[in-house]
Structure 1
């Protein structure tokens, strides 16, 4: 059993990788970050389809949080004032707005700084 949460992200996406590296350097979250391409997804209870669609936060107990709520969990585990921001992201209506913003970023991550064509979600999954 894992001892700390695992942040699962798209290692083929330069934008995602840059965002995770930023978080590791400046926020110091208490988790292990791993690209889904190298993670034991079955052990984590995650499908490859879900992992390629959104960032995931998997707790040691096996609970899986995706998208904006995974970001909230990361912030809740960070140092400094970031847990306050993470807590706000879990509360309605901020939670709903965060979900919409996350989906917008996920659909357009290949257009964002650091993004490449490899960052684009498959069109059948980008609309979710």
Structure 2
């Protein structure tokens, strides 16, 4: 599948919270352009290979201009803020408020939450199969 230059959100496909977050984005995304891929998918692994600075990343990854020469990636709280900007409306406003918190503090909170996400929200053996009406937005 091609991304047509649309942003891609890489996520932990075995994380219950991450799956819920993807389902949330699918519900509120008015444009319907964002694509999704699990970090361990072929697409996700290709992105990680192109960006060696992401080695060992345990975070959501927001990919702008995927497969292009100017491909950019952001992780952790910055990635979440990119998603908020993409969604627009109240989510963008909320992201603007969150930006007043220094990035090291935001990322520290992100890391603490990430460390307990499986205990709180559970873990699944594999990614859930997307519903037929949104399946085209997922990249294997």
TM, length-normalised to structure 1: 0.73
Query: Partner of 2:18 in structure 1?
Result: 16
2:105 paired residue among 97, 106, 122: 97
Gaps of 5+ in 2: 126-140
Write the mapping of 1:39-78 to structure 2, written as runs, cut at 5 A.
Answer: 39-40=42-43, 41-43=45-47, 45-46=50-51, 49-51=55-57, 53-60=58-65, 61-78=70-87
Query: Partner of 1:31 in structure 2?
Result: 34
The higher-RCO structure (CA 8 Å, 6+ apart) is 2
Write the mapping of 1:83-94 to structure 2, written as runs, cut at 5 A.
Answer: 83-93=92-102
1:110 paired residue among 118, 124, 132: 118
Could you list the structure 1 runs, at least 4 aligned residues long, displaced by more than 6 angstroms after superposition: none
Distance 1:43 1:111, change over 3 A: closer
Root mean square deviation, CA, Å:
2.6
CA distance in 2, matches of 1:15, 1:65: 19
CA distance in 2, matches of 1:92, 1:18: 25
CA contact (8 A) 1:110 1:117 kept: no
Larger radius of gyration: 2
TM, length-normalised to structure 2: 0.67
2:8 paired residue among 6, 11, 27: 6
Query: Partner of 2:136 in structure 1?
Result: none
Equivalenced residues, count: 115
CA distance in 2, matches of 1:109, 1:80: 27
Gaps of 5+ in 1: 119-128
